[in-house]
Amino acid sequence: MGWGYRKSLRIGPFRINLSRSGVGHSVGGRGVRYTRTAHGRREMTFRIPGTGLYWRRPLSRRRPRTRRH
């Protein structure tokens, strides 16, 4: 297992995440948070505060509609 790096800067409800992979950001509160990772993935995280339980949902990228013939 190699070494890693992660640093998080908080400014109110905003969080900037610095890692070896790059820079990501997130916004939200204790219950719901929207995240954009350093790799460009988007996800929503829903938490139940005080329990340690959470559910993470990836947000798909919108693709242009293709016409069916």
Name the pTM for this structure. Answer: 0.70
With 70 as the cut, is the pLDDT of residue 1 above it? Answer: no
Q: What is the pLDDT of residue 69?
A: 65
pLDDT digits (tens, 9 = 90+) for 21-31: 899 999 998 89
Helix (H) or strand (E) holding 51, with range, is: none
Q: What is the pLDDT of residue 63?
A: 66
Average pLDDT over residues 41-52: 92
Residue type, 45: T
> Sorting pLDDT into bands at 50, 70 and 90, what band is 4?
confident
Beta strands in 20-68 (DSSP E): 22-28, 32-36, 42-48, 53-59
